[in-house]
Amino acid sequence: MQHVGVQSLLKVHIKNKTYLGANGAETQALKDAQLTLTENSFTVFFGPSGCGKSTLLRILAGLDTDYEGSVDWVRPPKVGMVFQEPRLLPWRTVQENILLSADPTFTDHEFRQLVDVVGLTDMLSHFPSELSLGLSRRVAIARAFASKPNLLLLDEPFVSLDAPTAARLRQLVRTLWVDNPITAVMVTHDMREAVELGEDVLLFTPRPGSIHERLKVLPTDRANEASIEAKRAEVKSLYPHLFEE
């Protein structure tokens, strides 16, 4: 929930971000993208592929520092990231994968609780090669929460999952986020995900990306299937360009 007067965690203003394409031509990925993230908010970057939303996420993660502009943190940054691919260490077990990235204050009790919630209790000694994509994503999500971040970044974390698995994982992220309030940013091109999880949905312009509009999602919008679908249809009728793939 977002409250008036809540502290902001970071202010971002990317004036210009370009990268060199394979053909040597410069592409402008972001132009004058501005946003403020408040503490314990859940923000969604929404837009078609190639609009720079993942680029902005990588800048927030500190993985890309080659841009013009500023990212000002109020507190020291501590990022937990869930990548599009799970990016687990194949040579470490599920338990080791989670604990290697865990915060030093992460207790054994918290670990038991976390793996119970994500449903990995029986899988701790397995290696990633023995897991399905859905289970690997669970490990990646658990790893991000175990790192006790003050900024949780999710880069299309439900992509290429079958619908029921994706729905269960969305529910899982929702549960974890409600239980451990942290500032979260998720990139998606799926309005259902955006409405189900986000409080603020930032609609991106086509490339060069900037933030076109801020859309508030109310609890009533995600109350049931019909309201989610209604919200999706409403956004789609207003901004058809966002749904072009």
Contact residues toward another protein (CB under 8 A) are 61-63, 78-81, 83, 85, 87, 89-93, 100-101, 127-130, 143, 147, 153
Minimum separation from the CB atom of position 191 to another protein (A): 27
Angle between helices 163-179 and 133-146 in degrees, nearest 10: 10
Q: Could you please report the per-residue DSSP string of 116-130?
A: HHHT-GGGTT--GGG
Which CB sits closer to another protein, 80 or 208? Answer: 80
Contacts of 2 (CB under 8 A, 6+ apart): 38, 41, 199, 200
Which CB sits closer to another protein, 148 or 212? Answer: 148
Minimum separation from the CB atom of position 101 to another protein (A): 4
Which CB sits closer to another protein, 41 or 97? Answer: 97
Which CB sits closer to another protein, 83 or 243? Answer: 83
Helix boundaries (H) for 39-158: 53-61, 94-100, 108-118, 133-146
Minimum separation from the CB atom of position 234 to another protein (A): 35
Best CA proximity match to 193, nearest among 226, 144, 159:
159
Minimum separation from the CB atom of position 63 to another protein (A): 6
Integer angstrom CA distances of residue 242 from 185, 188, 209 = 18, 11, 12
